[in-house]
Amino acid sequence: MKVLPFKIPKPENNALIYQEDVEVVFYDKLHQHDEIQISFIEKGNGTLLVGDKISSYAKNDIFIISSNLPHVFKSHKNIEEKSKMFSLFFTETSFGESFFELNELAEINHFFSKSLQGLILKSNKTEIINNFMKLKNASKLERFILFLEILKTASNAKSEPLSTFVYNKKYSDIEGKRMRNVFDFTIENANQKINLEDIADIANMTKNAFCKYFKRRTNKTYISFLTEVRIENACKFLKSKKEFSIAEIAFKSGFNNISNFNRKFKEVKKMTPLKYQFSNKT
């Protein structure tokens, strides 16, 4: 299977694609597709990489991933229970070139510009989840009506961007495999020391060429990306029920200097590790 671009299996004459993923591990290869994706996580948790930004996904999260925005869901390896995700796929022209320009749909016109960087929804989730749960047994007409309801609710929901810039280029197969290898290696080894020479070897490039390539493709340096991966891993420890000291969490996440960890954490999360830990206690 080619890593990028990725083709969504499309039943004949279906403009709207509904998909259920029930897996221990979701499709965990960096990929992009022409379709806009709206996904609801019913079960599971893990790491989510969208564009240039890494975050996490968990039960009841709802994501919107725009057309050709590179992304990957990486389930946590220690999870034995199957993860479950419901998704809808469509394009701006799935229902005709001018369908979304109709006056009757003016209320959701801003959805497409709003979601260019990808979104995680922060409000109106109950209504959207209820509609997602109806999709499986719905007729094609009912499914289309539910889709419009989901789109309307998502358009008016509070949200946060998943990526920090709009990516409007398609990866070639070679580029896709290169970036996939870089991201996979980084996520798997972030708690270890990673030199620029090491990651450049993974990309099969010289160090200087890789640094320029990565910055051009992600709008940030590789070191900044690595730091964000480590901070996201630290957040998982801070939210866990296990009692780790801040120093232990820093070390487990790949930092060998606690003052540097505290400084970088505050830069990325806009709060100290202790404050983050307190605000996420259940």
pLDDT of residue 5: 45
Nearest CA to 225 out of 75, 53, 73, 72 is that of 53
pLDDT of residue 69: 87
pLDDT of residue 166: 63
Q: What is the pLDDT along the chain (282 residues), one digit of tens a residue?
A: 233 444 445 555 678 999 998 887 776 777 888 899 999 999 988 888 888 788 889 899 999 999 888 888 887 766 667 889 999 999 999 999 999 999 999 889 889 988 988 999 999 999 999 999 999 999 999 999 999 999 999 999 999 998 876 655 666 677 778 888 898 899 889 999 999 999 999 999 999 999 999 988 888 899 999 999 999 999 988 988 678 899 999 999 999 999 999 999 999 999 999 999 888 765
pLDDT of residue 78: 62
pLDDT of residue 54: 86
Tokens of 183: 């991201």
CB proximity list for 70: less than 8 A, separation 6 or greater: 4, 30, 31, 32, 49, 50, 51, 167, 171, 179
Domains of the chain: 17-161 (2.60.120.280), 173-279 (1.10.10.60)
Helix ranges (H only) for 165-253 are 173-189, 196-202, 207-218, 222-239, 246-252
Cis status, amide bond into 273, omega within 30 of 0: no
pLDDT of residue 143: 95
